[in-house]
Structure 1
Amino acid sequence: METVADEVREFLTSVIGKEVGPDDDYFASGLVDSLFALELVTFIEYRFKLVVDVEDLSLDNFRTASRIAEFVRHKTGGIRSGGGS
């Protein structure tokens, strides 16, 4: 079973066209722009069946696959974290 971070990394790699690590900040590195953030939020909501509320829209929640995984764990109560911790 893939972890949340792995699934997010697969999505990012398919969109960006370059493999990213779990802690790579793809926004700071210039690989993506603010318009991509909308696509990323949409992916997260659809894939993990959650709602990203307005108060969740801090870039810090979405700048790395690891941070997204933590955000998803928080929003789902840890149910969808995948892998062992």
Structure 2
Amino acid sequence: MITLKHIEIYKSYNGDGEGFVRCATPEEKAIMDYKRWSLIESLIQDISLIKKGLASEAYIKTIDERLKENCDSKETIQSLRDMA
């Protein structure tokens, strides 16, 4: 489940996974794992496609469902949309 804290950590490294692995604090590493990092990247890419008008209605519905299933709140979903 993605939370605002996960997004905050992701943003603090500008989406640079390698930078996170090298420089993250033990607390950040306890919160964020590869699975969540990868999910955030994937959702941002999907939202970007939608914003650019490159997604079908079926794809948009699928992504909306993924967002609801994988994010803890509407605020988290909006934060991902803002980043895309």
TM-score (norm 2): 0.33
- Larger of the two Rg values belongs to structure: 2
| Higher relative contact order (Cα pairs below 8 Å, separated by 6+ residues) | 2
